[in-house]
Structure 1
Amino acid sequence: MFNTMNKNNLYETLMNHRSIRSYTDQKVSEEELTLIMNSVQAAPSSINGQQVSVISIEDRQTKEKIAELTGNQPWVAQAPVFLLFCADFFRAKIAAELNEEQLVITESVESILVGATEVGLAMGNAIAVAESLDLGIVPIGGVRNQPIELIELLDIPEYVFPVSGLVVGHPADLSAKKPRLPQKAIWHKERYDTNLEGLIKEYDQTISSYMDKRTNGKETRGWSQEVSSFYNHIYFPEVRKMLEQQGFDFK
């Protein structure tokens, strides 16, 4: 029987997660990519709809263009593989046509929630397997920065939209682990506890010290300052237009 007091290999892999933004020239093997993709398909799926597709890109020029579209993130081009995770209802459209049914779910925001949830579950599996193989990764939310251009670049059909990218490669160096919020701030027992201000202030100090050390004093902002600077505007304004273009109508 598994003793929860003893950490197993999976737990250690998950707890050692960090985002890697510097990679060697060593290729990711086809076998390693297959293991990652096997784990993607093994993820839980609502109604067994399997609303996830992954486009793997290894071509240097294509990765350079994606790096530009995602906000000039050089590690996208540097790493040997870029995986684009998409929510996919195109297969559901084909299923509907085969059965002379109408695809109506894409007229509800539920389709976005289902698709994004399934991408998150699948990407979590992919990250865990990649890191268990001693590969480095970094998720790229910037695929939603200029999503229409990305859709055109990769010939993505209707009823499919990019949710997140994943850089995969062999780390050139290991980043420091970023401290997380105090567990009490995210683990609510029986009822949601809204008394969080003190915990957030505490975490601000932790992140400020971490950033000060990481940047040699160039950056000392806390967590609340960082989050506030992102969420005071819509930083990916093309998402709604992209979803409408791809056939998702929430009127």
Structure 2
Amino acid sequence: MNEAIRTIQDHRSIRQYTDEAVSDEHLDTIIQSAQSAASSINGQQVTIISVQDKEKKKKLSELAGNQAWIDQAPLFLIFCADFNRAKIAAELNDAPLGVTDGLESILVGATDAGISLEAATVAAESLGLGTVPIGGIRRKPLEVIELLDLPEYVFPVSGLVVGHPSDHSAKKPRLPQAAVHHRESYNHDLKSLIQDYDAEMAEYMKKRTNGADDRNWSQTVSAIYKTIYYPEVRAMLEKQGFKFE
């Protein structure tokens, strides 16, 4: 196994950080790695806002649901889907910007942001830094947009906490590969695989919490997905100029 694969497969979310700063050199390497990721049509539909200001990080931690690690870590990156540059390109070529009139732009933007975030994650972890992605950046998206002064056709997709770990958390088990990798066509016989994984996750949680919690995977997912847990996203997208044709 080479070092790149080892880094990817050793990923775990870090939620405890020292107060040591992320160097400018490391930040530049992380951003360059994120920029090197693939993007649809080479449109490069991603903007990364780096936040190191303590007051702004504190506010973002509150907007994301009081996630203390955003406030604690020295660096917070916000990955945005960005069609503002595409708008400028359209203006330069006297062409309409039609892609934002349909869902394709949202799918493309979110996909590109996710690919870029993963490249940044691998780069950061290869440098010995810890990370944790933050979907909660979409919890109060209109306030995030105002705080970061995002223009039309730009919206926050996910955040990424980056810093020096003070606690190397346990690696969380993943679904069995048979539940995720389906050969030639979709495997519809998943229930027993999920039940087996539930048992594994329950044991992991008991060890992690010294017996205080034995939640399994399906319990966690069903509890979260029973509602639209970030209900302001649609209004945010509409305000930013995106349509749902």
Match of 2:180 in 1: 186
1:190 positional shift = 1.0
1:219 positional shift = 1.0
Match of 2:170 in 1: 176
- Unaligned ranges ≥5, structure 2: none
Could you tell me which of 42, 46, 51 is aligned with 2:40?
46
| Most deviating of 76-85 and 212-221 | 212-221
1:42 positional shift = 0.5
1:114 aligns with 2:108: yes
1:47 positional shift = 1.0
1:30 aligns with 2:44: no
1:92 aligns with 2:86: yes
Count of residue correspondences: 245
Match of 2:233 in 1: 239
Could you tell me which of 146, 159, 162 is aligned with 1:165?
159
Could you tell me which of 4, 7, 13 is aligned with 1:10?
4
Distance 1:198 1:183 in 2: 13
Over 3 Å off, 4+ runs:
none
SS of structure 1 residue aligned to 2:131: strand
Distance 1:72 1:203 in 2: 30
Q: Deviations over 1:52-88 (max 9, x none)?
A: 0000000000000000000000000100000000000
Match of 2:57 in 1: 63
1:15 positional shift = 1.1
Specify the code of the residue in structure 2 equivalent to 1:243.
L
1:145 aligns with 2:145: no
1:249 positional shift = 1.1
Distance 1:54 1:32 in 2: 15
Query: Equivalent pairs: percent with the same residue?
Result: 60
Task: Output the TM-score relative to the length of structure 1.
Answer: 0.97
SS of structure 1 residue aligned to 2:221: helix
Distance 1:163 1:95 in 2: 22
Distance 1:11 1:50 in 2: 25
Match of 1:224 in 2: 218
Could you tell me which of 67, 70, 73 is aligned with 1:76?
70
Q: Deviations over 1:96-123 (max 9, x none)?
A: 1111111110011000110011011111
1:174 positional shift = 0.4
Specify the code of the residue in structure 2 equivalent to 1:20.
I
Q: CA RMSD in A?
A: 0.6
